[in-house]
Amino acid sequence: MDWLFIVKPADAAPDGGSSAKRHMLELAETEPRREWCLSRWRRMAAGDRLWIYFASPVREVAAVAEIEGEPFEAAGNPRQPW
């Protein structure tokens, strides 16, 4: 299954930093196995693809990732529990 992760300029990156395209691509290169908390994660399965789409300033798909593991519940953030 394919999933779309939309990155907006006001969003924070998975490491809490900037969601600028340059920073997000740097994370992909330096920490390719980083865990992300996503609202729809509980529906994802190993082998699914996650398309990273930047909403601005240029609308484009900038990266694609493959889901490696099964979802698990994360404590501490009720808005992103998975």
Using one digit for the tens of pLDDT, what is the confidence trace for 43-52?
788 899 988 8
Cβ-contact 23, 13 below 8 angstroms: yes
For residues 22 and 27, give the distance between their C-alpha atoms in angstroms, rounded to a whole number: 9
Give the percent of the chain with pLDDT over 70: 74
pTM over 0.85: no
Average pLDDT, the chain: 77
Tens digits of residue pLDDT in 10-40: 676 666 777 777 777 787 788 777 776 666 5
Backbone CA torsion sign across 19, 22, 23, 25: positive
> What's the average model confidence in pLDDT over 67-82?
69
